[in-house]
């Protein structure tokens, strides 16, 4: 007898282990089968599910179908029609390419493929249950291919126990179908669950119509299109206003040549495009297609094929950030007043919906829910309206002088609407003014903060930061290591308007700061800078410095809530806000600078509508 302990695993076990890479849950079955249907050139894909997909996933297409010899190989591991040799891996244009999916499913479920070529008389059927392959039979069926996967993991109970409730598995399956529908324009999709239709898009629907069908009209109507080209690379799609942002990235969708991808470079592009418009920790909503030569990207880096590697990601990054940022700045950043109304209603112990219900005949809710706030999004960021100025006790300070406007600014057509008319200052913080279709409330501090921030940003971009030299250098105490860090980057800091020098062993002397900071707090700037340098450990990048140091400084130096403003000062503040265009709708921390109440909001509040 031998003491040898190594033996070959039976093929079924090998396949079951490999299946773990590809098939984790019903949603992965849906993903692989839908990809196969699309690779077969389907114009219509039908997905039928039972019990969240655990009992049945069936995907039918009207694609090319298979001949008998191909069908006989379909369940074999590493059998594919999509690659011939390694060189094909450089330019993969299909969604699948590893030839693993059907083999994996065959080993962990009861599967059957029914298929009929366009030109064939009849259809063929092949079953594979738990790795045992049957024979190819002739059957009657329409053109195209149907793959059925029943009782997933019936022979691997440990895996089956990991499945969640049917509703959870169903929502994951639907997510896959919806992503495919948003990625594959020109293809129609239908999904059913326990014989009930749960999702559909017609082949003729464009991207916006598909988004509307999937996520509702509220979001679809607020989206702004993005479109740009750089050589053979094209980006197109939609970005949402910052108020639609969420805690997760579930509505941040990138499609690379139709394939849904989750890629770090692409995520960073979006983050960068929304820089300064989102509250910390919030994720923007966007749907973007990237069309590029398959040779410029490697999709063979991840088992689920969700991650990719771009050959020239620096260039792509610059191109995308510019394109996206242009779209983002055109979104409507105003905070709708209706969110405030909802809150006021809640305070009175009655939701508007209840009030509406007590006035039958007046109910006219869109989508039957809420106040048009997008479904399952968080409420808008709206601040409590304080009855008293938060800093009312602080001595009123003079408002910083405002730069002269170009002559024509006052005569621009939009100027009239935004600048004329009386203002009301409430609690020495909020400016209330009438608009042609309602009124708006401006937070003077937030607006001034945004003005200072945008000015700094522009200066830095144009490489001409005006420095205000301090008559008496301000000495700030720091640690030795902080001092070293600051000195190490002294030249880089000088280029962005922060001039400092050593002063003894644990002090720095600040000689100059950007002139835009009207009440500069040198100690605060130095401390924030030291913090940033210690954290990142590299030369300060202008964008980081703005983000983490100067915008805090601009906040500190802006006119604080509580300053009583003269009418001239109010006008000057609003004029400068107008110059910013859409950017004036939030402060750099993404608090709203202005909240708009439309006539519609008012009519709802007073039950006229």
Binding interface with Mg ion (CB under 5 A): 36, 96, 101
**Cα distance between residue 267 and residue 293, in whole Å:** 20
Residues 179/260, Cβ–Cβ less than 8 Å: yes
Instruction: Classify 261 as helix, strand or coil.
Output: strand
Q: Residue 331, SS3?
A: coil
In the sheet with 259-261, reading across from the earlier edge strand, the strands are 224-230, 233-239, 286-291, 252-256, 259-261
Closest CA to 333 of 595, 120, 22, 535: 595
User: Which residue lies nearest Mg ion, judged by its C-beta?
Assistant: 96
Q: Which helix (H) or strand (E) holds 457?
A: helix 444-461
Q: Which is nearer to Mg ion, 97 or 274 (CB)?
A: 97
Binder of residue 99, out of Mg ion, ligand ADP, none (CB less than 5 to 8 A by kind):
ligand ADP
Nearer of residues 124 and 500 to ligand ADP, judged by Cβ: 124
- Among 512, 511, 491, smallest CA distance to 503 is for 511
Least distance from ligand ADP to the Cβ atom of residue 104, Å: 8
Output the smallest distance, CB 125 to ligand ADP, in A: 13
Among residues 298, 293, 296, 295, which one has the least CA distance to residue 308?
Answer: 298
* Residue 81 binds which entry of ligand ADP, Mg ion, none, CB below 5-8 Å type-dependent: ligand ADP
Residue-level length of the chain: 609
* CB 348, min distance to Mg ion, A: 57
Contact partner at residue 93 from ligand ADP, Mg ion, none, CB < 5 to 8 Å by partner kind? none
- Residue 37 contact, options Mg ion, ligand ADP, none, Cβ 5-8 Å cut-off depending on partner type: ligand ADP
Residue 97's binding partner among Mg ion, ligand ADP, none (Cβ under 5 to 8 angstroms by kind) is ligand ADP
Nearer to Mg ion, 15 or 444 (CB): 15
Residue 310 binds which of ligand ADP, Mg ion, none (CB < 5-8 A, kind-dependent): none
CB of 81 to ligand ADP, least distance (A): 3
Closest approach of Cβ 148 to Mg ion, in Å?
Answer: 16
Instruction: Return the number of the residue (100 or 169) whose C-beta is nearest ligand ADP.
Output: 100
Q: Is 132 helix (H, G, I), strand (E, B) or coil?
A: strand
**CB proximity list for 420: less than 8 A, separation 6 or greater:** none
Least CB distance from residue 135 to ligand ADP, whole Å?
18
Compute the distance between CA of residue 560 and CA of residue 547 in angstroms, rounded to an integer. 20
Would you say 82 or 330 has its CB closer to ligand ADP? 82
Task: Give how far the C-alpha of residue 93 lies from the chain's centroid of Cα atoms, to the nearest Å.
Answer: 26
Q: How far is the CB of 38 from ligand ADP (least distance, A)?
A: 9
Name the residue with tokens 């749907």.
287
Which partner in ligand ADP, Mg ion, none is near 98 (CB below 5 to 8 A by kind)? Answer: ligand ADP
Closest approach, Cβ 86 to ligand ADP, in A, equals 15
Terminal CA-CA length for the chain:
90
CB nearer to ligand ADP: give 63 or 258: 63
Q: How far is the CB of 23 from Mg ion (least distance, A)?
A: 11
Place of tokens 């003269």: 566
Pairing label, strands 144-150, 196-201: unpaired
Give 32 or 50: the residue with its C-beta nearer to ligand ADP: 32
Distance of CA 177 to the CA centre of its chain: 19
Strands 286-291 and 252-256: parallel
Partner interacting with residue 80 (select from Mg ion, ligand ADP, none; CB below 5-8 Å by kind):
ligand ADP
441 Cβ neighbours under 8 A, 6+ residues apart: 337, 426, 430, 431, 432, 594, 595, 597
Instruction: Report the partner that residue 290 touches, choosing among ligand ADP, Mg ion, none (CB closer than 5 to 8 A by kind).
Output: none
Residue 333 binding partner per list Mg ion, ligand ADP, none, with a CB distance cut-off of 5 to 8 Å that depends on partner kind: none
Specify the residue, 99 or 438, whose C-beta has the smaller distance to ligand ADP: 99
If 0-12 CB within 10 Å is exposed, 13-18 middle and 19+ buried, where does residue 208 land? middle
Of Mg ion, ligand ADP, none, which one sits near residue 405, judging by CB under 5 to 8 A according to partner kind?
none
- 66, interface contact from Mg ion, ligand ADP, none, CB < 5-8 Å by kind: ligand ADP
CB of residue 171 to ligand ADP, shortest distance in Å: 24
For Cα atoms 266, 267, 270, give the angle at the middle one, nearest 5 degrees: 90
Give the residue carrying structure tokens 């969604």. 95
Name the minimum Å distance from CB 264 to ligand ADP. Answer: 25
Binding partner at 390 among ligand ADP, Mg ion, none, C-beta below 5 to 8 Å by kind: none
Q: How far is the CB of 373 from ligand ADP (least distance, A)?
A: 41
Nearer to Mg ion, 36 or 60 (CB): 36
Which region, left, alpha or beta, applies to residue 470 given φ > 0 means left and ψ of -120 to 50 means alpha? Answer: beta
Cβ closer to ligand ADP: 79 or 542? 79
CB 138 within 8 A of CB 123: yes
Which is closer to ligand ADP, CB of 91 or CB of 375? Answer: 91
| CB-based contacts of 544, cutoff 8 Å, min separation 6 | 532, 536
C-beta of 96 vs 166, nearer to Mg ion: 96
Q: Which residues bind ligand ADP (CB under 6 A)?
A: 32, 36-37, 40, 61, 63-66, 70, 74, 79-82, 96-103, 145
Residue 40 binding partner per list ligand ADP, Mg ion, none, with a CB distance cut-off of 5 to 8 Å that depends on partner kind: ligand ADP
Q: Which is nearer to Mg ion, 36 or 283 (CB)?
A: 36
Beta carbon nearer to ligand ADP, 145 or 342 = 145
CA separation for the pair 120, 212 (Å, rounded): 39
Residue in the shown chain whose Cβ atom is closest to ligand ADP: 96
Beta strands in 214-356 (DSSP E): 224-230, 233-239, 252-256, 259-261, 286-291, 297-298, 309-310, 335-336
CA 237 to the chain's CA centroid: 12
Q: Least CB distance from residue 102 to ligand ADP, whole Å?
A: 4
The set of residues, in sequence order, having a beta carbon less than 8 Å from that of 392 and lying 6+ positions away, is 427, 428, 562
**Where does 127-184 have alpha helices with state H?**
157-161, 166-183
Minimum distance of ligand ADP from residue 149's CB (angstroms): 12
């Amino acid at each position: 007898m031998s003491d040898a302990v190594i033996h070959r695993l039976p093929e079924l076990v090998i396949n079951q282990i490999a299946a773990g890479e590809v098939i984790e849950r019903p949603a992965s079955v849906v993903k692989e089968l839908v990809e196969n249907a699309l690779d077969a050139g389907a114009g219509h894909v039908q997905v039928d599910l039972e019990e969240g997909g655990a009992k049945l996933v069936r995907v039918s297409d009207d694609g090319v179908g298979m001949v008998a010899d191909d069908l006989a190989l379909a369940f074999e591991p590493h059998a594919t029609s999509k690659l011939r040799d390694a060189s094909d891996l450089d330019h993969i244009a299909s969604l699948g390419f590893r030839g693993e999916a059907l083999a994996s499913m065959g080993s962990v479920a009861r599967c059957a493929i029914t298929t009929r070529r366009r030109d064939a008389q009849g259809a063929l059927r092949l079953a594979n249950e738990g790795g045992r392959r049957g024979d190819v039979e002739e059957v009657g069926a329409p053109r195209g291919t149907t793959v059925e996967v029943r009782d997933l993991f019936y022979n691997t109970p440990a895996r089956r126990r990991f499945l969640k409730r049917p509703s959870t598995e169903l929502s994951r399956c639907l997510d896959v179908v919806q992503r495919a529908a948003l990625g594959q324009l020109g293809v129609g999709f239908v999904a059913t669950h326990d014989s009930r239709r749960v999702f559909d898009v017609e082949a003729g629907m464009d991207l916006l119509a598909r988004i509307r069908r999937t996520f509702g009209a509220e979001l679809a109507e607020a989206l702004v299109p993005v479109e740009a080209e750089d050589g053979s690379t094209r980006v197109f799609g939609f970005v949402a206003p910052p108020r639609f942002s969420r805690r997760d990235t579930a509505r941040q969708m990138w499609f690379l040549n139709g394939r849904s991808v989750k890629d770090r470079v692409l995520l960073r592009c979006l983050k960068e495009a929304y820089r300064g418009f989102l509250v910390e920790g919030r994720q923007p909503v966007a749907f973007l297609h990237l069309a590029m030569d398959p040779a410029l990207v490697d999709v063979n880096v991840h088992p689920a094929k969700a991650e990719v590697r771009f050959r020239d990601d620096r260039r792509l990054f610059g191109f995308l950030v510019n394109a996206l940022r242009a779209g983002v700045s055109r979104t409507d950043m105003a905070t709708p007043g209706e969110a405030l109304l909802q809150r006021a209603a809640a305070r009175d112990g009655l939701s508007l919906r209840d009030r509406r219900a007590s006035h039958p005949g007046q109910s006219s809710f869109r989508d039957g829910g809420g106040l048009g706030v997008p479904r399952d999004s968080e409420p808008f960021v709206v601040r409590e309206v304080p009855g008293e100025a938060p800093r009312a006790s602080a001595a009123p300070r003079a408002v910083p002088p405002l730069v002269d406007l170009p002559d024509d600014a006052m005569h621009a057509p939009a100027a009239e609407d935004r600048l004329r008319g009386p203002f009301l200052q409430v609690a020495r913080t909020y400016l209330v003014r009438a608009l042609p279709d309602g009124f708006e409330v401006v937070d003077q501090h937030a607006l001034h903060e945004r003005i200072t921030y945008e000015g700094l940003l522009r200066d830095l971009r144009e490489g001409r930061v005006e420095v205000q030299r301090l008559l008496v250098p301000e000495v700030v105490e720091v640690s030795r290591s902080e001092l070293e860090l600051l000195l190490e980057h002294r030249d880089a800091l000088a280029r962005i308007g922060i001039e400092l020098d050593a002063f003894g062993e644990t002090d720095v002397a600040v000689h100059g700061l950007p002139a835009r900071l009207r009440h500069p707090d040198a100690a605060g700037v130095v401390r924030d800078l030291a913090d940033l340098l210690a954290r990142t450990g590299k030369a300060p990048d202008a964008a980081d410095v703005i983000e983490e140091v100067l915008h805090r400084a601009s906040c500190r130096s802006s006119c604080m809530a509580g300053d009583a403003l003269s009418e001239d000062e109010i006008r000057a503040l609003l004029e400068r806000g107008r110059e910013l265009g859409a950017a004036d709708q939030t402060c750099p921390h993404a608090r709203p600078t202005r909240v708009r109440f439309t006539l519609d909001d008012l009519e709802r509040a007073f039950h006229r509508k």
